[in-house]
Structure 1
Amino acid sequence: MPLADDDRRRITERLGREPTPTESVLFENLWSEHCAYRSSRPLLTEFESEGEQVVVGPGDDAAVVGLPTGDETTDLAITLGIESHNHPSFVDPYDGAATGVGGIVRDTLSMGAYPIALTDSLYFGDFDREHTRYLLDGVVEGIADYGNAIGVPTVGGSLAFHPGYEGNPLVNVACVGLLDTERLVTAEAQRPGNQLVLVGNATGRDGLGGASFASEDLAEDAETEDRPAVQVGDPYTEKLLIESNEQLIDEELIESARDLGAAGLGGASAELVAKGGLGADIDLGAVHQREPGMNPIEILLAESQERMCYEVAPENVERVRAIADRFDLGCSVIGEVVEGNYTCSFDGDAVVDAPAEFLADGAPAYDLPAESPVEPDRDLPSPDLETAFGELVGSPNTASREWVYRQYDHEVGLRTARGPGDDSAVLAIHDASGDGAGIGLALSAGAEPNWTAANPAAGARAVALENATNLAAKGATPLAAVDCLNGGNPENPGTYGGFSAIVDGLAGMCADLDVPVVGGNVSLYNDSAAGPIPPTPTLAMVGVREGYEAPPTALRGVGDLLLVGGLDGDDPALGGSEYLARFGGADRFPNLPDDPQEFVAALARVANEEATAAVHDVSHGGLAVTLAEMVTPEAGARIEIDDYENPAAALFGERPGRAVVETDDPEGVEEAFDGVAPVDVIGRSTDSGRLDVRMDDERLSMTATTIAERRSVLDAAME
């Protein structure tokens, strides 16, 4: 993808000459959509990213957020980062997904943190297609093999199937790290004279042009023609890199750091010194290489994995070499930080000489036209409720994800108090003093393409509320979030209008929830011969709670069942539901709660009450599927709903901001939500091991065993 004419003119004017071939390719990658956010940058100012808990906000490899430990002697914090590896995962699902994990983990390392958890949000075309199952199998295997090998648990995420991803799946991976803020390192070069040291794998020719490849539509022959742009991962080297990074940080040997991801060494080193208002002198011939005869463009732009660029004081270089050697990692002193331009030489010839800030930040933003999406007219199907229930319980979009997450080691590290398969994961952040139970860190991640396809702005608001509700269902209060904004070709006004709408919706709801969005990633040009993807705003949100003991999703058979948030009697909309996706039709997207922050706070309080036996949010598939997910062979539910005019909306509508609570103190729940949201007593848990629903004269009934069999469609098709 050559430089655009306008970009070349701008570069030529700034340099006072034509760029060299190496400079042209470096600018092409650093000024690509993937690195420079040229189409999305004007929109991202909508996000509120500040808060007293925010230590480092957007702009670094990962964000840093303080944890409320209650211990004044310890400034404990987490890092949050999220990344997309969409195009590589279509071309090579195994390596594309695996190296996405590796990249987001190294973003965590570069802040001085130790990675403690991963989430993966995956989006594919129709599950019935053989190619979709091929991609799913390869992506999950890649995530599992890499994450398991490096010892970082994959504790949550999401999985969605939608025809819009037929030719362009999405793989969004988030990572959480843990650190004391005294160990914090940033990607801002500190002072001239410090050395630039490359530690990790040798540089090869894999991943060449990965940043520019991620900034263009996928062609029909992408699976063969673009394979050289896909990186190849080595998780065992990554594990060594994790441990060596810990020792380097422990010994205070690192002044600043950046992992080598998009645009390889050129991207990492130019961005590192530009952030510090400095330059660099780099000898590309000094880079340790895997393949003979590499030229300067290959050395500078290859995206070979498991590599870190460190700024090191001269007196500490030999100690860094010794630690790298101890962990059997390559180590090269490739240059130094200087005042002046960013320069690279090869065999004594200057191949790059440009201002670092111009390379890293000089790409102008685009001012693109946008067309607002139009909501469809109402057109509802009319299957009988029993047929609809059976179809939705067995839908790939509501089915059990156990086939996916049982391939992940989600307990390594001994912090996972609640793992995959629940509304959110909960990690135990142990009390180092031993005086208390510590705090629980809850994680939720995902998006719902049916929602944002139906109404991008309202659907994105619903995505944010859904993730916050997932945290609250485990008794956690939201703390911060990062986003991965996926869209199609922004040069299409309709596509860009949908993308703009998801930014507006996501930013608005996060502000309403008082959740700062502290970082993120943008992935555009997700188009293929099948067309653009639905606008997909993946959100990874974290929350905190006292202790680690969160209520389960599964019923215990001991109390009343309450629906908090209402049956939608005055708002029977089905827009964005799996019900419409399975049976056809259209409807407006449902209205969301007037005060979502108060709803989330009230649900978190209820989830922490001793009288609460189980909590599960109402989302995909609606109330009926939520109840089906809660019953077990030991605990069932008897539900009675009277005088309801729209049974389909009551059972299958997916308005977020609702949850089912099993409790032996219904009055306490009603009091907690007084003035916040309606509370309906809808039935009682039983020891029958079946779900029985009576709605006026209509009845649904199914055993927990039959429900489990129907929800195992992924296992049946993938094994």
Structure 2
Amino acid sequence: LQAPGANGQAEVRGYHKPIMLAGGIGNISAQHSKKNPIPPGAALIQLGGPAMLIGLGGGAASSMDTGSNVENLDFDSVQRGNPELERRAQEVIDRCWQLGADNPILSIHDVGAGGISNAFPELVNDASVGAIFQLRDVHNEEPGMSPRELWSNEAQERYVMAIAKEDLPRFKEICERERCPFAVVGYATEQRHHLSVLLGKPPKMTRDVKSTAKQLKAFDTSNIDLKDAAARVLRLPGVADKTFLITIGDRSVTGMVAREQMVGPWQVPVADVGVTLAGYETYRGEAFAIGEKAPLALINAPASGRMAIGESITNIAASLIDDIGELKLSANWMAPAGHAGEDAALFETVKAVGMELCPQLGVSIPVGKDSMSMKTVWNDDGENKAVTSPISLVVTAFAATPDARKTLTPQLQTGVASKLILIDLGAGKNRMGGSSLAQVYGEVGDTAP
């Protein structure tokens, strides 16, 4: 979509890099919700996949505009998943916690940014113990890796954990049964190490950014034909039927899915909320819904954030939730950091959502992710081209529901006496800037809801 830029010139706004929709909920037994002390001599284990040349560009590489990096570092910074190995590691963890009080796992930590160079130190530091590691014992898919690469790579499907020495044979049996590789990389010691350099707070980054004013043109709807507009909007990917995406997976896996995407006798994918059961002998469950309004950020970035929050809440309202305070939100932020005006717009959006709207509503955002490199640049026959994403906030709302059966759908019931009520949340203002209608006519507009 061509949209006005900060310098008054039109620029291409859209998504050449994938946008992320992420969020999940789960349950954990109270006895497993806290890490246990790690005694000296406990085995420190890496469970799951081997070390690989992945993520070695780190945040510096993954946050660079696509096309601006050297090829080998671009490849090293790409995450490459292994679903089969992830499943095996999860089965090992499941077999352990299902042992209840005999669970051999004393403490567990995921392996994310920084690889095991971050995960292992955090694991032992949280338990107030030290550790000795042997990097040569780390399973390694690429033998040419240096010690630094072994210690810092971000290969996927790995966990680190502490297992008491006496429980190690039992843990080994579980891993062998599930065919999941593991390695004893080190042992806990009484002597602690000074980890303030590694785990302390880094110096705060200062970014000198400025807000920019855009010259926006009003969206004129006076000459739009209603029939043509309806046909265009229904063909827009953001509005059109998503059956082709939904039917590639099993929507009833586990047998505890109470509300999936398809609704009614004609199986139309228009459900506002997903609901799952907490077990096979209860009606209690979990509800979750998504909200996003990224196109509005081309006009008013804080408004796009508020609308994403609003959409997630009005979607999850189709399920039974006792109190809005029980809602938890996952915020996934994407922005083209460094692009003129976008850093300031991101700051204003975070402030509008995190410091103003959510506290007013009484809901919290305990978790989220971000990608600050939502811009793609390339050269086409000597011509420099770029596609820049707008500030994009994707919100996943989730909460417990006391009765999964009491979930509403958009299906109209004509066989009962009922009324169809329009609730105008726009209070008659009809601000169409950034709307699907504006997009299908190649417009942005100047006023966002």
Q: Give the TM-score category using the shorter length.
A: 0.7 to 0.9
Query: What are the residue-to-residue correspondences of 1:131-280 with 2, within 5 Å?
Result: 164-186=13-35, 190=38, 192-219=40-67, 226-249=74-97, 250=99, 251-276=102-127, 278-280=129-131
Match of 1:313?
Answer: 164
Q: Is the 8 A contact 1:189 1:278 kept in 2?
A: no
Q: Distance in 2 between matches of 1:285 and 1:495?
A: 45
Deviations 1:49-86 (A, max 9, x none): xxxxxxxxxxxxxxxxxxxxxxxxxxxxxxxxxxxxxx
TM-score (norm 1): 0.53
Q: CA deviation at 1:472?
A: 0.4
Selected match of 1:412 from 238, 246, 253? 253
Q: How does the TM-score come out when normalised to structure 2?
A: 0.83
Could you tell me how far apart the structure 2 residues matched to 1:331 and 1:407 are? 33
Q: Helix, strand or coil for the counterpart of 2:369?
A: strand
* Separation (CA, whole Å) in 1 of partners of 2:414 and 2:401: 25
- Check 1:178–1:463 CA distance in 2 against 1; reply closer, same or farther (3 A cut): same
Q: Distance between the aligned counterparts of 1:223 and 1:506, measured in 2?
A: 37
**Counterpart for residue 392 of structure 1:** 233
Which of the residues 435, 439, 442 maps onto 1:577? 435
Contact 1:189 1:273 in 2 (8 A): no
Whether contact under 8 Å (2:12, 2:388) holds in the other structure is no
Structure 1 residue 460: deviation in Å?
Answer: 0.4
Task: Work out whether residues 108 and 159 of structure 2, in 8 Å CA contact, stay in contact via their aligned partners in 1.
Answer: yes
Alignment of 1:641-680 (within 5 A): none
Q: Which has the bigger relative contact order, CA under 8 A and spacing at least 6?
A: 2
Tell me the secondary structure at the aligned position of residue 261 of structure 1: coil
Indicate which of 157, 174, 186 corresponds to 1:335.
Answer: 186
Q: Where does residue 552 of structure 1 map in the other structure?
A: 409
The aligned residue for residue 448 of structure 2 is 589
Deviation at 1:206, TM superposition (A): 4.0
**Which of 303, 306, 309 in structure 2 is aligned with 1:461?**
306
Cα distance in 2 for residues equivalent to 1:318 and 1:329 = 15
In 1, Cα distance between equivalents of 2:112 and 2:241: 34
Over the residues paired in the alignment, what is the CA RMSD in angstroms? 2.8
- Specify the SS of the correspondent of 2:13: helix
Deviates more, 1:497-506 or 1:446-455: 446-455
CA displacement, residues 268-294 of structure 1 (integer Å, 9 cap, x when unaligned): 213333444554321101112233343
Over 3 Å counting, the alpha-carbon distance change for 1:300 and 1:486 in structure 2 is same
> Equivalents in 2 of 1:178, 1:548: separation in Å?
16
Distance 2:402 2:215 in 1: 45
Change (3 A) 1:284 1:225: closer
Runs of 4 or more off by more than 6 Å in structure 1?
221-224
In structure 2, give the amino acid aligned to 1:456: A
Maintained 8 Å contact 1:506/1:537: no
Q: Which residue of 1 aligns with 2:199?
A: 360
Q: CA deviation at 1:244?
A: 0.8
> Does 1:506 pair with 2:365?
no
Q: Which shows bigger deviation, 320-329 or 367-376?
A: 367-376
Match of 1:53 in 2: none
Q: CA deviation at 1:227?
A: 2.3
Letter in 2 for 1:303: E
Tell me the alpha carbon deviations over residues 502-541 of structure 1, each in whole angstroms, 9 at most, x when there is no partner: 2112213222221121122232133221254211122111
- Alignment map for 1:74-93 (pairs within 5 Å): none
CA contact (8 A) 1:164 1:531 kept: yes
Instruction: Check whether the contact 1:279–1:356 (CA below 8 A) recurs between aligned residues.
Output: no
- CA distance in 1 between counterparts of 2:162 and 2:131 reads 11
Gaps of 5+ in 1: 1-124, 127-161, 343-354, 591-719
C-alpha separation in 2, matches of 1:545 and 1:306: 31
Determine the C-alpha separation between the residues in 1 that align with 2:330 and 2:196.
25
What SS class does the counterpart of residue 473 from structure 1 fall into?
coil
Deviation at 1:341, TM superposition (A): 6.1
Correspondences of 1:569-648 after superposition (within 5 Å): 569=428, 571-583=429-441, 584-590=443-449
Give aligned-pair identity as a percent. Answer: 24
The alpha-carbon deviation at position 447 of structure 1 amounts to: 1.7
Look up the match of 2:219. 380
Letter in 1 for 2:312: N
Query: Structure 1 residue 217: deviation in Å?
Result: 2.4
SS in 1 for 2:160: strand
Q: Deviations over 1:197-222 (max 9, x none)?
A: 11122323344434442232222577
| Unmatched 5+ stretches in structure 2 | 3-10, 262-268, 378-385
Q: Is the 8 A contact 2:291 2:310 kept in 1?
A: no
What displacement does 1:475 show? 3.4
Aligned-pair CA distance for 1:310: 0.4
Q: Which letter does structure 2 place at the counterpart of 1:578?
A: S
Compared CA separation, residues 484 and 177, structure 1 to 2 (3 A): same
- Write the distance in 2 (CA, Å) between the matches of 1:379 and 1:557: 40
SS in 2 for 1:226: helix
The verdict on how the C-alpha distance between 1:466 and 1:194 changes in structure 2, with shifts beyond 3 A counting, is same
Distance 1:447 1:472, change over 3 A: same
Check whether the contact 1:209–1:263 (CA below 8 A) recurs between aligned residues: no
Change (3 A) 1:359 1:459: same
1:424 aligned to which of 234, 250, 273:
273
With over 3 angstroms needed to count, the CA separation of the structure-2 counterparts of 1:522 and 1:337, relative to structure 1, is farther
- 1:587 is paired with a residue whose SS is coil
Give the C-alpha shift of residue 191 in structure 1: 5.0
How many Å separate the matches in 2 of 1:501 and 1:227?
A: 34
What CA distance in whole angstroms lies between the structure 2 residues aligned with 1:516 and 1:447?
17
Deviation, structure 1 residue 174? 2.0
1:468 positional shift: 0.6
How far off its partner does 1:375 sit? Answer: 6.7
**CA 1:546–1:166 in structure 2 vs 1: closer, same or farther (change >3 Å)?**
closer
Partners of 2:82 and 2:156 within 8 A in 1: yes
Report how many aligned residue pairs link the two structures: 412
Pick aligned residue for 1:484 from 313, 332, 344: 332
Is 2:292 aligned against 1:447? Answer: yes
**How far off is 1:542 after superposition?**
0.6
Quote how far apart the aligned CAs of 1:450 are: 0.8
Q: Residue 501 of structure 1: CA displacement?
A: 1.7
